[in-house]
Amino acid sequence: MFRSIKILLLISCFTLSLAVAVGAMKGKSRNSKSETKPHWAFIAPAQPTLPAVKNKAWVKTPIDYFVLAELEKNELKPSPEADKTTLIRRLSLDLIGLPPTLKEIDDFIADTSPNAYEKLVDRLLSSPHYGERWGRWWLDVARYADTNGFEKDRDRSIWPYRDWVINALNKDMPFDQFTVEQLAGDLLPNATLQQRIATGFLRNSMLNEEAAVEPEQFRVEGIIDRVDAVGKAFLGLTVNCAQCHTHKFDPIKHQEYYQFYAFLNNDEEPEIEVPTTAENKKRAEIIAGITKIEDELFAKNPDLPKRISKWEQQAKLDEGQWTILTDTSVIGTNGVKFERMLDDSFIARGDNPPQNVYYLKAKTNLKNITGFRLELMTDHSLPHNGPGRATAGTVLLSEFNLEAAPIAQPEKIEQIKIDSASADFSSTDNTINRAIDGNPKTSWSLDAGPGLRNQDRKAVFVPKNVVGYDSGTVLTFAISQKEFGGSAAERFEAPNLGRFRLSVTTAANPKADPLPKNVRSILGIPAANRTKEQQCEVFRFYRTTVSEFAEANKAAVALMKNWPYPATTMVLTPRAVERETRIFKRGDWKRQETLVTPDTPAFLHPFPKDAPRNRLGLAKWIVDKNNPLTARVIVNRIWQNYFGQGLVATPEDFGTRCDKPSHPELLDWLAVEFRDGAMGRQGDGAKLPTTDHRPPTTWSMKAIHRLIVTSATYRQSSSIPPSALSVQPSENHLLARAPRFRVDAETIRDIALSASGLLSLKVGGPSVFPPIPDGAMAVSFRSRTVWETSQGEDKYRRGMYTFWKRSVPYPSMSVFDAPNGDMSCTRRARSNSPLQALTTLNDAVFMEAAQALALRVWKEGGNDDRAKLIYAFRLCTSRTPDEFELNRLQKLLKQEQARFTGKTAAAVYVAAPDLNNLPADVDLHKIAGWTMVARVLLNLDETITRQ
């Protein structure tokens, strides 16, 4: 059976390579000798046979054949296996991003069974912290951040996407599914909430809300960023190089860039609620409570159906006849800009200043206009659906003013006096009359309270005299919100109008239709055809109009007060009407030319026959077995995390300019293994690894991790053999030893907190605010100049949960090369600077870790200094110190304890993080000395290095 699959695969590869060869002629590799051979990375990988090696005893997995063959070719020997302590620390840091506990180390050393190592690997791969460690790896390419970027850099809520990534990895979601859900989870049949959350991958683009920006320009920038992220994360292609012109080095045409772009250019960008189980339960309870009240009303009033039906007759007359103004334009003060919707409504975009006036100009040929209707409409791009722009979606309307002029004489402006106004809803004290009282500091409020405030509303304004000139009329509406007293920094709290539309009527005595939109549309359905839910909705509104039900209505309102507002997250959903994509001349969004339709670059594998031309089709194309890139790109980036450098050193670029792979056959072998599972194995490989009896799985990331970390290559010592210096001075790319490198920014924090016992191991949830140096946020332009430090457990969460502000990223992680999140990052820099030294020496978080470590060592570390020193050293580095190290630390301890003698103040400052809460029953002079030792240990090169 294996054989037949293999043959099929070979055939399909062959077919594809022919197809590719034609398209990829231009993309010939600079590394290839033949002028006509396509670039290697554009031909789908086939699993190569394992090379012959001399030292078969060394080999543990198929990986080792490839590595050993190269070493033997270069007359090099692999390094010996690292000791067990090094191995468990390396494995723990690599697989879960945390150092092992001392018990875990001891247990592993004590376990002499032949599969002790594999058991350890399995334990770590099934740890919930695996998803955190490798989730962060994915979040780099997903350019995750907690703010929008640019000048305003407002907070955003998208952490549910981070949770989704962690959970997906912990479940070992197959990579094809992982891809499909992130690019098109919402388009899957019966998409679940989790699948919709996954599309946050695309939403991680920055958003410019600076005053006066053109929303379209920065929407386009966002799509360009998404194309870039998809290109780098899944394809290892620098697609964006074709944004302005045909790619210089890779065979991507200018037009093909926009065809690719078209897949991602057809969406709306809603925020959706992500209720917890408790919140869902609470909501159900409230609904049940209200239903109970309503049932009681029915029970007490058997004539209700008749009364409702009579009320409906009257209600049907209240709708009025309105003409929507369609010849309209709108400008706002303070640089607010608008998007026109297909139904002739406008949505305010960009900045949301504390106060604002929208000027809407409309032309109409109607005469004898008796009323003007302002509709405030919900939209899923507004906070909690709006209709306003405040964080709860609320609105205040301070004044509604109107001028009219004949179209023929636009300078002949007439102020229109508004005589009366009505609204379908007003909050108790803020009636609609406040919008026509001439006082900009009083407003109409339509805040109906939790759970009720986010619905369509309307107000009708009646002029003293009818309006309309014979030649047609220009109406200029001035709709203002001037009551909000917030400062500029609170601008996104400002209750300005979100989505709105204006209509006029010529009917007599116009009034705002009291019926909500949903009830109005149900009334259009014959009573007999209504569902139970629709009947309930009608009654739910009807009862509020009945004065004798006041008590029951009050009770229902009281229940709603506790309506929970869940966290939200940012997702994608397709537009109802497709958006056109045109080629931008030289990449300039204002110079749009030829129309294009979604398609993938011709030099790659064909688009799947039956796949739709949308994001879902694109995702299916990416995980198509004929795709030459994706499997290679992902295993390469996984490899890079283990060995410091990928088999291809440029993980974001597998194009013709990429570096030649160090082990091309190994890369292909791993890629096929990843894509097809162990089924495609050949020769010796089919028998390896001997300890793994799991069913073959395709696209399993955990299987690739297991394969790599169980290899002899991975298990080598990282010490540099003197022979390697002379033979191979440049790099360790032949892997004659394991690499030794500084851990990532987040892990530096995690190690310090873990060694000191402070670390919280809570998985998932919203971002947290660990301590930050005073004034560190001062470079931020406006929002969140205050950083409210988290309390309790949240003060000590893992680094990956730190609130990530794009314009001012958390300093102590930024300094260690954590990516900003401005764009997709496939490879972190690993710098080594004095500012890093200052951070781990002096930053308050690290000092607190030193203090906690000292106290921990004092209490748990044994009876004498020597035992305590060993304990402390092990907590930081996992290994037992040698005599030199012990003596040196002993010397430091004595030296520092002497310095604190008679200096109580200094001792207390150094020993205790909180002077109001001094640790009891300890000699703080002594603890201070230990704190100094702990601080040195946390700063050791070895403590922050994976070796």
Within 736-775, the residues that bind another protein by CB under 8 A are: 740-742, 773-775
Residue span binding another protein (CB under 8 A) among the ranges 118-126, 211-219, 380-388, 794-802: 211-219
**Using the rule CB under 8 A, which residue among 62, 149, 386, 680 binds another protein?**
149
Interface of this chain with another protein, residues 531 to 590, rule: CB under 8 A: 590
User: What is the size of the binding site for another protein (CB under 8 A)?
Assistant: 115
Q: How many CB atoms lie within 10 A of CB 870?
A: 20
> 711-738 in b/e burial notation, b at 16+ Cβ within 10 A?
bbbbbbbbeeeeebeeeeeeebbbbbbb
Q: How many CB atoms lie within 10 A of CB 532?
A: 7
State the minimum distance, in angstroms, from the CB of residue 141 to another protein: 13
**Whose Cβ is closer to another protein: residue 231's or residue 677's?**
231
**Whose Cβ is closer to another protein: residue 76's or residue 678's?**
76
Residue span binding another protein (CB under 8 A) among the ranges 283-291, 302-310, 430-438, 836-844: 836-844
DSSP-assigned letter for residue 799: G
Interface of this chain with another protein, residues 151 to 180, rule: CB under 8 A: 151, 153
Interface of this chain with another protein, residues 493 to 522, rule: CB under 8 A: none
Cα–Cα separations (whole angstroms), residue 277 to 169, 558, 564, 566: 22, 22, 12, 10
3-state percent breakdown (helix, strand, coil) of the chain, nearest 5: 45, 10, 45
Distance, in Å, from the CA atom of 819 to the CA atom of 829, rounded to the nearest integer, reads: 9
State the minimum distance, in angstroms, from the CB of residue 812 to another protein: 8
**Whose Cβ is closer to another protein: residue 132's or residue 351's?**
351
**Whose Cβ is closer to another protein: residue 523's or residue 940's?**
940
State the minimum distance, in angstroms, from the CB of residue 652 to another protein: 5
Residue span binding another protein (CB under 8 A) among the ranges 167-175, 207-215, 377-385, 526-534: 207-215
Distance, in Å, from the CA atom of 315 to the CA atom of 768, rounded to the nearest integer, reads: 51
Residue span binding another protein (CB under 8 A) among the ranges 285-293, 304-312, 620-628, 801-809: 801-809
3-state SS of 223-253 is HHHHHHHHHHHHHCCCHHHHCCCCCCCCCCC
**Whose Cβ is closer to another protein: residue 228's or residue 447's?**
228
Residue span binding another protein (CB under 8 A) among the ranges 190-198, 421-429, 723-731, 756-764: 723-731
Distance, in Å, from the CA atom of 564 to the CA atom of 276, rounded to the nearest integer, reads: 10
Interface of this chain with another protein, residues 24 to 63, rule: CB under 8 A: none
Binding flag, residue 725, another protein (CB under 8 A): yes
Name residues whose C-beta falls within 8 Å of residue 137's C-beta, 6 or more positions apart in sequence: 637, 641
Residue pair 730/658 in contact (Cβ under 8 Å)? The answer is no
State the minimum distance, in angstroms, from the CB of residue 477 to another protein: 12
Distance, in Å, from the CA atom of 388 to the CA atom of 385, rounded to the nearest integer, reads: 8
Encoded one letter per residue, x for contact with another protein by CB under 8 A and - for no contact, window 333-372 reads: xxx-------------------x-x-x-------------
State the minimum distance, in angstroms, from the CB of residue 233 to another protein: 13
Helix ranges, 479-531 (H): 517-523
Binding flag, residue 211, another protein (CB under 8 A): yes
**Whose Cβ is closer to another protein: residue 239's or residue 369's?**
239
DSSP-assigned letter for residue 30: T
**Using the rule CB under 8 A, which residue among 43, 768, 808, 854 binds another protein?**
808
State the minimum distance, in angstroms, from the CB of residue 850 to another protein: 8
Binding flag, residue 676, another protein (CB under 8 A): no
Distance, in Å, from the CA atom of 589 to the CA atom of 424, rounded to the nearest integer, reads: 42
Cα–Cα separations (whole angstroms), residue 13 to 19, 46, 62, 506, 608: 10, 7, 22, 71, 15
Nearest to 196 by CA among 267, 246, 254: 267
Cα–Cα separations (whole angstroms), residue 528 to 449, 523, 599: 33, 11, 48
Interface of this chain with another protein, residues 419 to 448, rule: CB under 8 A: none
**Whose Cβ is closer to another protein: residue 217's or residue 465's?**
217
Interface of this chain with another protein, residues 852 to 911, rule: CB under 8 A: 884-885, 888-889, 891-892, 895-896, 899, 905-910
Distance, in Å, from the CA atom of 97 to the CA atom of 125, rounded to the nearest integer, reads: 11
State the minimum distance, in angstroms, from the CB of residue 780 to another protein: 5
Q: Detail the DSSP E strand segments found in 122-281.
A: 267-268, 271-274
Interface of this chain with another protein, residues 468 to 497, rule: CB under 8 A: 478, 480
Cα distance from N-terminal residue to C-terminal residue, the chain: 42
**Whose Cβ is closer to another protein: residue 581's or residue 939's?**
939
**Using the rule CB under 8 A, which residue among 259, 455, 630, 780 binds another protein?**
780
DSSP-assigned letter for residue 379: -
**Using the rule CB under 8 A, which residue among 729, 788, 792, 914 binds another protein?**
729
Distance, in Å, from the CA atom of 92 to the CA atom of 99, rounded to the nearest integer, reads: 6
